[in-house]
Amino acid sequence: MKLFRRDFLRLAAAGAALPALRQSARAETYPTKPVRFIVPVPPAGTFDIVGRLVANALSQRLGQQLVVENRGGAGTNLGTAMVAHAAPDGYTLLLAGSPGAINATLYHNLDFSFARDIAPVASIERAPLIMVVNPAFPAKTVPQFISYEKTNSGKINMGSGGIGSTGHVAGELFNMMAGIKMAHVPYRGEAPAVIDLLAGQIQVIFSTPGSVMSAVKSSTLRALAVTSATRMDVLPDVPAIAESLPGYEAVSWSGIGAPAHTPPAIIDKLNRETNAALADPKLQGQLATFGAKVMTGSPDDFGKFIAAEIDKWAKVIHFANIKAD
């Protein structure tokens, strides 16, 4: 009887281990066919270019093509929903980014939860925004800008690429921490906002480096500060906002997500290969042209980062009473 019981327990333990063994075996051979890589924005922007660079690097490492599919719409919600509802088998991935963390609070009627339905796989990069003004604007520093607004209330119009964009919430975080109230003027993308800033129709924008770097270097726009916690390597003379407002930080970022319940072994393999791809100096240099620095770590690290971003922007959205269109 004791022998029978011992054999039974051994067989039960072996049976319990079978699912893990099957997952491990699938991960060893994964992927066996092309992988859909959903980029939830239209082609040609910085976010899309980052996705394509990483997709190309991962295709070489995995031995199967990551096929980029641009699914723009609804502020990245359309493409994100596609991945949230896809089969959790590792063959549909998402280029996740800061809009997903913002939209988690901004939109109330989504049929998915960014935090619950998208599994964090690997972080890719993070990049600051640049706080830029027209050269004719009287303030040349962040403290001067804050002082000017407090004595000229209602005279500073802040442009952005749209309601709830990273540039918009970065500006509202600045409002919240500086105790001022810039008026928000949303545009359909950053390009028209930059045009109006050059023309003096608005006074300030918090822009991605790719949209304003050439204008800053040619002095047709003045960079007051960057939104990262420290200065950018490519703009060493431009201070960080945090030097005047301690604790201020607002970055755009990207990473890879997968449908929730994707096997952990597959997520771990994708994480390892992404981190290895990001160690390549060539890819690091390509990302640096957009002012971005690689951001590597485990899936758990990325998940904690996303949770912190969702919490941060929820506070700003509630403070500024931002409403989606």
Long-range pairs for 143-151 at CB < 8 Å and ≥24 separation?
A: 143/244, 145/204, 145/224, 146/178, 146/179, 146/180, 146/244, 149/178, 149/180, 149/181, 149/182, 150/179, 150/180
- CB atoms closer than 10 angstroms to residue 17: 10
Mean pLDDT of 156-185: 97
pTM: 0.90
- pLDDT at residue 227, as a whole number: 98
**Which residue stretches of the chain are H helix?**
2-29, 46-62, 77-84, 98-106, 114-117, 142-151, 166-178, 190-198, 209-217, 264-278, 281-288, 299-320
pLDDT digits (tens, 9 = 90+) for 91-104: 999 999 999 999 99
pLDDT, tens digit, 9 for 90 and up, residues 63-116: 999 999 999 999 999 999 999 999 999 999 999 999 999 999 999 999 999 999
How high is the pLDDT of residue 3? 46
The boundaries of every CATH 3.40.190.10 domain in the chain are 130-243
Architecture of domain 34-127+251-320: 3-Layer(aba) Sandwich (3.40)
d(C-alpha 11, C-alpha 13), whole Å: 5
The residue-averaged pLDDT of 24-38 equals: 87
Query: Could you tell me which CATH number the domain at 130-243 has?
Result: 3.40.190.10
Portions of the chain given CATH number 3.40.190.150 = 34-127+251-320
Per-residue model confidence as pLDDT tens digits over 297-319: 999 999 999 999 999 999 999 99
Alpha-carbon Rg for the chain in angstroms: 23
* DSSP letter (8 states) at residue 129: -
- For residue 45, what pLDDT band results from cuts at 50, 70 and 90? confident
pLDDT score, position 154: 87
For residue 31, whether the previous peptide bond is cis, meaning omega lies within 30 degrees of 0, is yes
Quote the percentage of the chain above a pLDDT of 70: 92
Tokens of 215: 């204008």
Structure tokens at 258: 């997968």
pLDDT, mean over the chain: 93
Cα-based distances in Å from 183 to 63, 153, 156, 162? 50, 10, 6, 13
Q: Which residues pair with 259 in a beta bridge?
A: 118
Cα(first)–Cα(last) distance of the chain, in Å? Answer: 71
In the block, tokens 């023309």 appear at: 199
**Lowest-confidence range among 18-27, 102-111, 221-230?**
18-27
**pLDDT exceeds cutoff 70 at 11:** no
Q: Tokens 């990473």, residue?
A: 255
Higher pLDDT, 6 or 286: 286
Percent of the chain with pLDDT over 90: 86
pLDDT of residue 9: 59
For residue 194, what pLDDT band results from cuts at 50, 70 and 90? Answer: very high
231 phi and psi, to 5 degrees?
-70, 155
Give the contacts of 136 (CB within 8 A, at least 6 positions apart): 200
pLDDT band at 13 (very low <50, low <70, confident <90, very high): low
SS (H, E, C) 151-200: HCCCCCEEEECCCCCHHHHHHHHHHHHHCCCCEEEECCCHHHHHHHHHCC
The pLDDT, as a whole number, for residue 4 is 58
